[in-house]
């Protein structure tokens, strides 16, 4: 087995910086509102996209449905969103922001975005563009048929 040290360094670097960014935002701008990264992502997605079915919301936020269910329960208890059954499909659940949730995200987003800008402030505009393009290329590969197929097979099958 050959080891691609550059691939290892790149992937571990992406993972480490993603965790550090998440920690920076959770311990900063999100802390006073007692929101987790995932809780903020749910509120932001609903704010931008409007009401959504839970299955699409989970996919958009990047969590499984059981994780989303717990996050939704917490946010609903706080009065930030509501869940209701679909009008015609009883098993489907629709989630939407409450006015309180909308006010919170409208208050938080400018501060959250200021921290996003801070995180990349040491990069030139061209470096930000190149980094964004590189990350999208990786995401597209992971979302491709080949990526899905590789996740579905074990190492022994390869």
Question: Of all residues in the chain, what percent are helix, strand and coil, respectively (each to 5)?
Answer: 70, 10, 20
d(CA 19, CA 22): 5
CB of 83 closer than 8 Å to CB of 76: yes
| Domain shared by 10 and 64, yes or no | yes
| Domain shared by 112 and 128, yes or no | no
Q: Which residue has the higher pLDDT, 5 or 154?
A: 5
- How many domains does the chain divide into? 2
d(CA 104, CA 8): 39
| Domain shared by 94 and 72, yes or no | yes
| Domain shared by 110 and 158, yes or no | no
| Domain shared by 67 and 99, yes or no | yes
What are the two backbone dihedrals, phi and then psi, of residue 11, each rounded to the nearest 5 degrees? -65, -45
Overall average pLDDT of the 11-20 stretch: 97
For the domain that residue 70 is a member of, what is the CATH number? 1.10.10.10
Q: Where are the beta strands (DSSP E) in the chain?
A: 52-53, 81-85, 93-97
CB of 80 closer than 8 Å to CB of 97: yes
CB of 38 closer than 8 Å to CB of 57: no
| Domain shared by 66 and 40, yes or no | yes
- How sure is the predictor about 158, in pLDDT bands with cuts at 50, 70 and 90? low
| Domain shared by 96 and 158, yes or no | no
For 64-123, the pLDDT digits (tens) are 999 999 999 999 999 999 999 877 777 899 999 999 999 999 999 999 999 999 999 999
| Domain shared by 15 and 85, yes or no | yes
| Domain shared by 56 and 86, yes or no | yes
| Domain shared by 38 and 91, yes or no | yes
Domain residues for 99?
5-118
Q: What is the pTM of this model?
A: 0.86
| Domain shared by 78 and 106, yes or no | yes
- How sure is the predictor about 130, in pLDDT bands with cuts at 50, 70 and 90? very high
| Domain shared by 80 and 36, yes or no | yes
For 53-65, the pLDDT digits (tens) are 999 999 999 999 9
Q: Sign (positive/negative) of CA torsion 151, 14, 23, 35? A: negative
Overall average pLDDT of the 18-42 stretch: 97
Render 79-125 in DSSP notation, one character per residue: TSEEEEE-SS-TT-EEEEE-HHHHHHHHHHHHHHHHHHHHHTTTS-H
């Amino acid at each position: 087995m050959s080891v691609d040290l550059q691939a290892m360094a790149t992937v571990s670097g992406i993972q480490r910086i993603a965790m550090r960014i998440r920690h920076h935002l959770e311990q900063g701008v999100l802390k006073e509102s007692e929101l987790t990264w995932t809780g903020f992502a749910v509120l932001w997605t609903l704010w931008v996209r409007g009401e959504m079915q839970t299955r699409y919301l989970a996919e958009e936020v990047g969590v499984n449905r059981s994780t989303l269910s717990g996050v939704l329960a917490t946010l609903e208890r706080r009065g930030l969103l509501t869940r209701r059954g679909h009008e015609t499909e009883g098993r489907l659940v629709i989630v939407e922001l409450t006015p309180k949730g909308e006010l919170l995200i409208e208050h938080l987003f400018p501060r959250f975005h200021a921290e996003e800008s801070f995180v990349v402030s040491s990069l030139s505009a061209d470096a930000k563009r190149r980094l964004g393009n590189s990350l999208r290329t990786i995401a597209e590969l992971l979302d491709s048929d080949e990526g899905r197929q590789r996740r579905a097979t074990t190492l022994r099958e390869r």
